[in-house]
C-alpha cells in the first residue's frame, strides 16, 4: 500500500497543481469561454449533461474494449503463426509493418463504406491501430526465447506446440504485456478517430460525436469534458491491462519490481 | 550395474562452419562408470558432450551405446549399439548445464517435473516423482520457491534434480558447477558423487577443474588442441572419501592430468601413439 501511494501520489499532486494554475489563469486573464473554459466551468457543464456524457463514455469504452480484445487475439495469434515459420515471417511481416504506416484517418472512411455507420466501424478502427504493437511485440518475444531453453525442450522431445505453449509464450509474456499496454491506449485513439468519421447521433452517441457536435455549437467546455472522458477510458483500459500484466509477471520478472 | 548404458566414442570428428572442432576423439565409459573430460575452453569438450547426447551429429566416426549386463569384450566385438538420437529419445540420457537452465516462471517443483511433463506423465505422477527427487536432495522446503529466489548453488541442485527425475541411464554434465563459489562447489561435487552412486547411472562430466575431475571420476580424459583431440584416459584409483583431496596419490594424479594438459604438442602426438 505504501509503495502504491509512493508511485501514485506525485502524478496526482502534479495534476491537481496544473488544474489550479489553469483555474487561476482563467480567473486572471478572462479569455472568452469558447476559447478556454476553466476546469470548474468544464466540470459544471459536464454535470449538466452528465447522462449524455456517461452514455457516450460507455459507447466509446465498449468500442475501444472490443477493438482491443480483437487486436490482442488477432495480434497474438498471427505472431504465434509467424514465429513458427521463417518463410511466412519473411513474406508477411514486412507487409504488416507497411500496413502500420497507412494513416488510420485516411482509411477510416473506407471502414464506414465496409462496415456502415455505427459500432462495427469504430471497433474495426480501434482494432486496426491496436493490432500492430501486439503483433510486433509478441513476435519479438517469441523469437527471443533463450536458445538454451529451446534446446532443453528439444532434449525432452517436446513438439512444436508444446514448445510454443510451455516455453515460447511464457517467456514472451513481458513483451506481450508491453504490446498490450501500447495497444490499450491506441484502441481508444482508434475508436475516437472512427467515431469522427462514422459516429452516429442520437441517445448513445459516443464521445467522438460529442466532441464534433459540441465543437459545432461552440461548447468548448463540453469538448474538454469529452476529451477528458476519452482519456479516462484509455487510462482505465491501460490500467487494467497493466494490472493483469503485473499479475502474470510478478512472481518472476524483474520489470514488476517497484523501485 | 542396473540398466545404465555405456558409451563408446570411436574416431569421432566434428566440423563446424568448415573448420574441424574435434579430430578423431576416442572415449569410452563402462555402464555405471564415471568419466570426466577436462581441457581448456574452446577445446571441444562441450561439443563432444553434445555429440554424445545426440544434440548434434558427428561429421565422421561413430558413437555407440552399450546396455549394461553385457561384458566389455562382447560389446567390443559386436556392439549392440543404439544411435545417439534413439537413446536420447528413450529418455535414457539427461543433461545438466552450467547455468541450470531453469524456467524462471515455474517454481522448483514444476521445474523438476518438466521432463516428465513433456513426456506426457500425468500431473499427479510427475509431481510425486519430482517430490521424491526433491526429498532425496533435501530440497523439499524449497518446492514452491521461484528460481529467482534461489542461490546459484540451490539452482544447480534443482537442475540436478530435474536431470535425475527421469532416472536417466546416462547423465551428461556440462560444467555444472563452473559458476559457483569454491565452498558450494565442493559440497555439490560430493552431492553429485553420492547421487551417482545411489542411482547407478553412467556419468560423463565436462569440467575445466582438474581437482573436480580427479575427485569425482573413475577415468579422466584430457582434451586439448585445435581441433580438439582426446588423450588416453588416466585411470583414477584413489579412494573416494572426503579427505582424499589432500592425499599424496590424489595430488600425484592431478599432477599427471596437469602435465597432459600443458605438455608440448609434439609430446602429445607421442602419447597419442
> Which residue carries 504493437 as its cell?
A133
- The whole-number average pLDDT for the span A225-237 is 95
Query: Chain B, 109-138: which have a CB under 8 Å from a chain A CB?
Result: 114-115, 117-119
Judge: A149–B95 Cβ closer than 8 Å, yes or no: no
Average pLDDT, rounded, for chain B: 83
Top mean pLDDT of B22-26, B96-100, B124-128 is at B124-128
In the three-class reduction of DSSP (H, G, I as helix; E, B as strand; rest coil), residue B95 is classed as strand
What are the boundaries of each domain within chain B?
A: 5-92+169-272, 103-167
What would the DSSP string read from start to end of A108-147? HHHHHHHH-SSHHHHHHHHHHHHHHHHHHHHHHHHHTS-H
Q: What percent of chain B is modeled with pLDDT above 70?
A: 85
- State the pLDDT at residue B77: 36
C-beta atoms surrounding B248 within 10 Å: 8
Q: Measured between alpha carbons, how far is A152 from A129 in angstroms, rounded to an integer?
A: 37
Q: Sorting pLDDT into bands at 50, 70 and 90, what band is A101?
A: confident
Distances (CA, A) of B203 to A64, A178, B94: 59, 44, 10
What is the distance in angstroms between the Cα of B88 and the nearest Cα belonging to chain A?
Answer: 7
Q: Nearest-CA neighbor of A206 among A226, A186, A189, A232?
A: A226
The enclosing H or E element of B234 equals strand B234-235
User: Could you tell me if B254 and B272 are in contact, meaning their C-beta atoms sit under 8 angstroms apart?
Assistant: no
- State the pLDDT at residue B74: 34
- State the pLDDT at residue B91: 64
Answer whether A21 touches B (CB < 8 Å).
no
In the three-class reduction of DSSP (H, G, I as helix; E, B as strand; rest coil), residue B237 is classed as coil
Per-residue pLDDT of A11-20, as tens digits, reads: 899 999 999 9
Distances (CA, A) of A102 to A63, A105, A108, A117, A180: 21, 9, 11, 22, 20
Q: Measured between alpha carbons, how far is B109 from B134 in angstroms, rounded to an integer?
A: 8
Beta carbons within 8 Å of A41's beta carbon, 6+ residues apart: A26, A33, A221
pLDDT at B103 over 60: yes
- State the pLDDT at residue B181: 87
Least confident of A65-79, A236-250, B85-99: B85-99
- The whole-number average pLDDT for the span A189-200 is 87
Q: Nearest-CA neighbor of A121 among A203, A195, A205?
A: A195
Q: What percent of chain A is modeled with pLDDT above 70?
A: 97
Per-residue pLDDT of B48-63, as tens digits, reads: 998 998 888 888 888 8
Interface test with A, best of B51, B92, B103 (most A CBs within 10 A): B103
- The whole-number average pLDDT for the span B70-91 is 48
Closest CA in chain B for residue A145: B103
Q: Measured between alpha carbons, how far is A208 from A112 in angstroms, rounded to an integer?
A: 15
Distances (CA, A) of B81 to A117, B30, B86: 72, 13, 10
Per-residue pLDDT of A106-161, as tens digits, reads: 888 888 889 888 889 999 999 999 999 999 999 999 999 999 999 999 888 899 99
Judge: B95–A155 Cβ closer than 8 Å, yes or no: yes
> Chain B contacts of A162, Cβ < 8 Å?
118
Question: Measured between CB atoms, which of B93, B99, B118 is closest to A158?
Answer: B118
Q: Measured between alpha carbons, how far is A184 from A130 in angstroms, rounded to an integer?
A: 7
In the three-class reduction of DSSP (H, G, I as helix; E, B as strand; rest coil), residue A25 is classed as helix
Q: Measured between alpha carbons, how far is B113 from A143 in angstroms, rounded to an integer?
A: 25
Q: Measured between alpha carbons, how far is B52 from B55 in angstroms, rounded to an integer?
A: 8
Closest CA in chain B for residue A171: B105
Answer whether B258 touches A (CB < 8 Å).
no
Q: DSSP label at A164?
A: I
Going across the sheet that includes B60-67, the strands are B19-29, B5-16, B60-67
> Chain B contacts of A253, Cβ < 8 Å?
104-105
Q: Nearest-CA neighbor of A124 among A76, A187, A73?
A: A187
Q: Give the rounded distance of the alpha carbon of B228 from its chain centre.
A: 18
Superfamily holding B5-92+169-272: P-loop containing nucleotide triphosphate hydrolases (3.40.50.300)
Answer whether B179 touches A (CB < 8 Å).
no
Judge: B105–A153 Cβ closer than 8 Å, yes or no: no
pLDDT at A24 over 50: yes
Q: Measured between alpha carbons, how far is A217 from B74 in angstroms, rounded to an integer?
A: 99
What are the boundaries of each domain within chain A?
A: 55-256
User: Could you tell me if B94 and B174 are in contact, meaning their C-beta atoms sit under 8 angstroms apart?
Assistant: no
> Chain A contacts of B55, Cβ < 8 Å?
151, 154-155
Least confident of A212-216, B136-140, B184-188, B266-270: B266-270
Beta carbons within 8 Å of A106's beta carbon, 6+ residues apart: none
Is the backbone of residue A24 left (phi > 0), alpha (psi -120 to 50) or beta? alpha
Q: What percent of chain B is modeled with pLDDT above 90?
A: 26
Per-residue pLDDT of B205-249, as tens digits, reads: 999 888 888 888 899 898 887 788 888 888 888 776 666 777 887
Determine the angle formed by the axes of helices A104-115 and A169-198, rounding to 10 degrees. Answer: 80
Domain A55-256 classification at class level: mainly alpha
> Is the bond preceding B173 in cis, omega lying within 30 degrees of 0?
no
pLDDT at B76 over 50: no
Answer whether A253 touches B (CB < 8 Å).
yes
Judge: A162–B95 Cβ closer than 8 Å, yes or no: no
Distances (CA, A) of A128 to A209, A227, B194: 20, 21, 60
Amino acid at each position: 500500500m505504501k509503495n502504491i501511494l509512493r508511485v501514485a501520489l506525485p502524478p496526482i499532486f502534479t495534476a491537481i497543481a496544473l488544474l489550479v494554475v489553469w483555474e487561476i489563469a482563467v480567473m486572471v486573464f478572462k479569455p472568452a469561454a469558447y476559447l478556454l473554459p476553466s476546469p470548474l466551468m468544464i466540470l459544471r457543464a459536464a454535470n449538466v449533461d452528465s447522462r449524455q456524457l456517461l452514455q457516450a463514455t460507455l459507447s466509446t469504452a465498449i468500442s475501444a474494449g472490443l477493438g482491443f480484445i480483437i487486436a490482442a487475439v488477432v495480434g497474438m495469434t498471427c505472431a504465434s503463426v509467424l514465429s513458427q515459420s521463417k518463410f511466412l515471417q519473411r513474406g508477411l511481416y514486412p507487409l504488416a509493418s507497411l500496413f502500420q504506416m497507412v494513416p488510420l484517418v485516411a482509411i477510416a472512411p473506407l471502414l464506414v463504406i465496409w462496415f456502415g455507420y455505427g459500432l462495427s466501424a469504430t471497433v474495426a478502427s480501434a482494432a486496426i491501430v491496436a493490432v500492430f504493437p501486439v503483433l510486433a511485440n509478441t513476435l519479438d518475444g517469441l523469437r527471443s526465447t533463450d536458445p538454451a531453453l529451446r534446446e532443453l525442450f528439444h532434449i525432452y522431445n517436446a513438439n512444436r506446440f508444446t514448445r510454443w505453449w510451455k516455453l515460447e509464450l511464457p517467456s514472451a509474456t513481458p513483451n506481450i504485456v508491453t504490446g498490450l499496454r501500447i495497444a490499450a491506449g491506441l484502441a481508444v485513439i482508434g475508436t475516437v478517430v472512427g467515431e469522427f468519421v462514422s459516429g452516429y447521433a442520437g441517445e448513445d452517441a459516443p464521445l467522438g460525436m460529442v466532441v464534433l457536435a459540441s465543437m459545432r455549437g461552440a461548447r468548448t467546455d463540453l469538448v474538454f469534458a469529452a476529451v477528458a472522458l476519452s482519456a479516462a477510458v484509455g487510462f482505465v483500459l491501460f490500467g487494467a491491462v497493466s494490472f493483469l500484466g503485473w499479475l502474470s509477471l510478478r512472481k518472476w520478472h524483474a520489470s514488476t519490481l517497484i523501485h | 550395474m542396473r540398466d545404465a548404458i555405456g558409451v563408446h566414442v570411436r574416431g569421432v570428428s566434428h566440423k563446424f562452419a568448415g573448420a574441424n572442432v574435434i579430430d578423431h576423439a576416442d572415449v569410452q565409459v563402462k555402464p555405471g562408470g564415471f568419466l570426466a573430460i577436462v581441457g581448456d575452453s574452446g577445446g571441444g569438450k562441450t561439443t563432444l558432450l553434445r555429440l554424445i547426447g545426440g544434440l548434434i551429429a558427428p561429421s565422421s566416426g561413430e558413437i555407440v551405446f552399450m546396455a549394461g549386463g553385457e561384458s566389455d569384450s562382447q560389446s567390443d566385438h559386436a556392439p549392440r549399439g543404439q544411435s545417439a538420437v534413439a537413446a536420447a529419445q528413450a529418455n535414457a540420457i539427461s543433461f545438466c548445464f552450467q547455468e541450470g537452465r531453469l524456467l524462471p516462471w515455474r517454481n522448483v517443483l514444476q521445474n523438476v517435473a518438466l521432463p516428465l511433463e513433456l513426456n506426457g506423465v500425468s500431473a499427479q505422477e510427475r509431481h510425486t516423482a519430482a517430490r521424491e527427487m526433491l526429498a532425496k536432495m533435501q530440497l523439499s522446503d524449497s518446492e514452491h520457491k521461484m528460481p529467482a529466489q534461489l542461490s546459484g548453488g540451490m539452482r544447480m541442485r534443482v537442475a540436478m534434480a530435474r536431470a535425475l527425475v527421469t532416472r536417466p541411464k546416462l547423465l551428461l554434465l556440462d560444467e555444472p558447477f563452473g559458476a559457483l563459489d569454491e565452498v558450494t562447489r565442493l559440497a555439490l561435487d560430493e552431492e553429485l558423487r553420492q547421487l551417482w552412486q545411489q542411482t547407478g547411472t553412467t556419468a560423463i562430466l565436462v569440467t575445466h577443474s582438474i581437482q573436480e575431475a580427479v575427485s569425482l571420476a573413475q577415468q579422466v580424459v584430457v582434451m586439448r588442441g585445435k581441433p580438439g583431440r582426446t588423450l588416453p584416459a588416466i585411470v583414477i584409483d584413489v579412494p573416494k572419501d572426503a579427505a582424499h583431496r589432500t592425499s599424496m596419490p590424489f595430488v600425484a594424479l592431478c599432477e599427471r592430468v596437469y602435465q597432459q594438459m600443458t605438455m608440448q604438442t609434439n609430446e602429445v602426438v607421442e602419447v597419442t601413439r
